[in-house]
A and B are shown apart, each in its own frame.
Chain A
C-alpha cells in the first residue's frame, strides 16, 4: 500500500493537507499522527511510502523525530518532506543534513498543496505501472 503518514500536531493544518489530497482524487491511504512521541510506532506499523512532517511540535520537535526516522534501519529509507514555518537558514540546513528529502516553508498556498498532492499521487501511479511491467 502507498500509505502516507502525516505527522502534525495541528488538526487544522492536517485538514488542509487532507483536503488537497482528497480534491485531486488521491487513492493512497493517509494516516494522521498528532503525537510526535508515538510517531515512530505509527511509522513502523504502517511502513508508509512517504512521511510528511511538521517541524514545530510540542514535546518532541520535528528535527528530533527526523533524526529517529533516519537512524532506524526499518524506517531510514522512507522519504520525508518537512513542513515548517521557520525560514531560518540553520533549521533548513539541519533538516537536510539529517536526511530530509525536501523542506517546504509554511504557509504554502492552497494551490501549491494541490500541486504537491497531485505530483505525489502521479508519482505513485507511475511507479506502480513501471513496477507491474514484466
Chain B
C-alpha cells in the first residue's frame, strides 16, 4: 500500500488528537489537519489528499456545506469523504451520503478498528469507482474512434453511388439497385452520427438556464414541418411552463419524442402536450395515438440499440430515446412512459421549473 494522506477537518483539538491516535496504528496513513472548512479547501489545493475525515459541524461551515464545497473543488470531485456526526444526527448523515460522502461514523461510538475499517472501505470503493470511470471513458473513446473510422469509407461509398447513378442515367434497373446501396449507406451514416452524439453527451457539461418550453415546441414543429404535413398530423399543445435546461438539448428531446409519435402510428397522428406543476418540477406529458409499447419494454426503450419493430415497417436508429434520456438526466430531470398497445403512448418528462435555478446551482 502506498502512502495515504488523511485530512482531518475538526475544530475540536481533543477530537483531533483522538483520531490521530487511532490512525497511528497504520503506518501507511499520513495525517494532515485543518480546523475549519476554508483551511481544508486550501489543503486540497496544496497537498495530495487521499481521504477527508470531516466533522459535521465546523465553525465556518456545516457538514452539508463542506461536502458541497469539497465536491465543487477542482481536486475534490472524487476524493472519498467520511463524515463524523454526533449521536442523533442521522438526518445530517443521510444527507451527507446523498451528497456523495462514502460513510459516516458517530463520534461517541468511535473505535480505532471502526475508523480504520471505514477508511479502508472508502479508499477501496473510490479506487473501484475511478477504475470504472476510466474504463467507461476508454469504451467511449473506442466507440467514438470506431464510429469515425466507419463513417469515412461509408461517405466514399455514398458519393460513389451518386457518381455511378449519374453515369448509368437511362439504365433504370441498375440505377435502382445503386439507389438501394445509396439509401442504405445514408442510413448508416445517420446511425453513426447518432451514435457519436450519444457518446459525446456523457462528456459535455452544459450550462443550464431558463427556457420557455412553448418556444421549444414552436421550433420543433417547424423542424418537423414536412413530416407533420405529410402525415396530416394534429398537435394540440397546452400552455407550457418555463424550465431549467438548455435550448439545443430540449429541442432534441421533444423533436425525438414527437417524431416517434408521428412515425410509429398507423392512423392520423394526434398528439397532445400538457403540463402539470408539482413542487419545483414541471411534468410534461406527450400523449399520442400511436402503436403503443408493451409494458415489458417500458425500460428497454431507453437503452441504446433497442429496436422494437422491423426496419421494413418503421425506420429508426435505436439510439434516439437513449439520447433523450441522457439529456433529460443532464437537466436533472426524469423520463418515463405509460402505454397501451394499439391505443397509444404517453411520455412523461419532469424538469426543474425555471424558478428553482438557485437551488440547483447550490447542489450541482
Q: Are the CB atoms of B160 and A12 closer together than 8 Å?
A: yes
Interface digits, B130-157 against A, CB 8 Å rule (1 contact, 0 not)? 0000000000000000001001101110
Q: Considering only CB atoms, which chain A residue lies closest to B157 in the complex?
A: A107
Residues from chain A with a CB closer than 8 A to the CB of B196 are 87-88
Q: Considering only CB atoms, which chain A residue lies closest to B151 in the complex?
A: A85
Q: Are the CB atoms of B159 and A109 closer together than 8 Å?
A: yes
Given contacts A10-B152, A85-B155, A86-B148, A16 and B193 within 8 Å (CB-CB) = no
Residues from chain B with a CB closer than 8 A to the CB of A16 are 156, 159-160, 163
Q: Are the CB atoms of B200 and A13 closer together than 8 Å?
A: no
A110 to B164, CA, bound (A): 10
Residues from chain A with a CB closer than 8 A to the CB of B156 are 10, 12-13, 16, 107
A10 to B160, CA, bound (A): 13
Interface digits, A93-134 against B, CB 8 Å rule (1 contact, 0 not)? 000000000000011111101000000000000000000000
Q: Are the CB atoms of B159 and A113 closer together than 8 Å?
A: yes
**Distance in Å from the Cβ of B37 to the closest Cβ of chain A?**
36
Q: Are the CB atoms of A107 and B193 closer together than 8 Å?
A: no
Tell yes or no: B166 within 8 A of A by CB: yes
Q: Considering only CB atoms, which chain A residue lies closest to B161 in the complex?
A: A110
Please tell me the size bucket of the interface on B. Answer: 10 to 19
A12 to B151, CA, bound (A): 14
Q: Considering only CB atoms, which chain B residue lies closest to A11 in the complex?
A: B156
Tell yes or no: B158 within 8 A of A by CB: yes
Q: Are the CB atoms of B166 and A110 closer together than 8 Å?
A: yes
Given contacts A86-B148, A87-B193, A88-B200, A110 and B162 within 8 Å (CB-CB) = yes
**Distance in Å from the Cβ of B231 to the closest Cβ of chain A?**
26
A91 to B339, CA, bound (A): 40
A110 to B189, CA, bound (A): 16
A25 to B200, CA, bound (A): 42
Q: Are the CB atoms of A85 and B163 closer together than 8 Å?
A: no
Q: Considering only CB atoms, which chain B residue lies closest to A16 in the complex?
A: B159
A107 in complex: contacting residue of B148, B159, B166, B200, CB < 8 Å: B159
Q: Are the CB atoms of B155 and A109 closer together than 8 Å?
A: no
Residue with the highest number of chain A CB atoms closer than 10 Å, among B159, B186, B189, B196: B159
**A1-45, CB < 8 A from B:** 10, 12-13, 16, 19
Tell yes or no: A56 within 8 A of B by CB: yes
Residues from chain B with a CB closer than 8 A to the CB of A111 are 162
Residues from chain B with a CB closer than 8 A to the CB of A56 are 148, 152
**Distance in Å from the Cβ of A61 to the closest Cβ of chain B?**
11
Residues from chain A with a CB closer than 8 A to the CB of B186 are 107
Residues from chain B with a CB closer than 8 A to the CB of A10 are 152, 156
A13 to B156, CA, bound (A): 6
Q: Are the CB atoms of B163 and A107 closer together than 8 Å?
A: no
Residues from chain B with a CB closer than 8 A to the CB of A88 are 196, 200
**Distance in Å from the Cβ of A117 to the closest Cβ of chain B?**
13
**B317-351, CB < 8 A from A:** none
Residues from chain A with a CB closer than 8 A to the CB of B148 are 56, 85-86
**A59-94, CB < 8 A from B:** 85-88
A108 to B148, CA, bound (A): 16
Q: Considering only CB atoms, which chain A residue lies closest to B163 in the complex?
A: A110
**Distance in Å from the Cβ of B137 to the closest Cβ of chain A?**
17
A85 in complex: contacting residue of B152, B160, B162, CB < 8 Å: B152
Q: Considering only CB atoms, which chain B residue lies closest to A87 in the complex?
A: B193
Residues from chain A with a CB closer than 8 A to the CB of B200 are 88
**Distance in Å from the Cβ of A56 to the closest Cβ of chain B?**
6
A71 to B159, CA, bound (A): 33
Q: Considering only CB atoms, which chain B residue lies closest to A106 in the complex?
A: B155
Q: Considering only CB atoms, which chain B residue lies closest to A10 in the complex?
A: B156
A88 to B163, CA, bound (A): 27
Q: Considering only CB atoms, which chain A residue lies closest to B150 in the complex?
A: A85
A positions within 8 Å CB-CB of B: 10, 12-13, 16, 19, 56, 85-88, 106-111, 113
Would you mind naming 18 contact pairs between A and B with Cβ atoms under 8 Å apart?
A10-B152, A10-B156, A12-B160, A13-B155, A13-B159, A16-B160, A19-B163, A56-B152, A85-B148, A85-B151, A85-B155, A88-B196, A106-B152, A106-B155, A109-B162, A110-B159, A110-B163, A110-B166
**A-B interface, 9 closest residue pairs, ranked by CB to CB distance from nearest:** A107-B155, A110-B162, A107-B158, A106-B155, A85-B151, A16-B159, A12-B156, A110-B163, A85-B152
Given A16-B156, A85-B151, A113-B159; 6 other pairs, CB 8 A cutoff: A16-B159, A16-B163, A19-B163, A88-B200, A107-B189, A109-B162
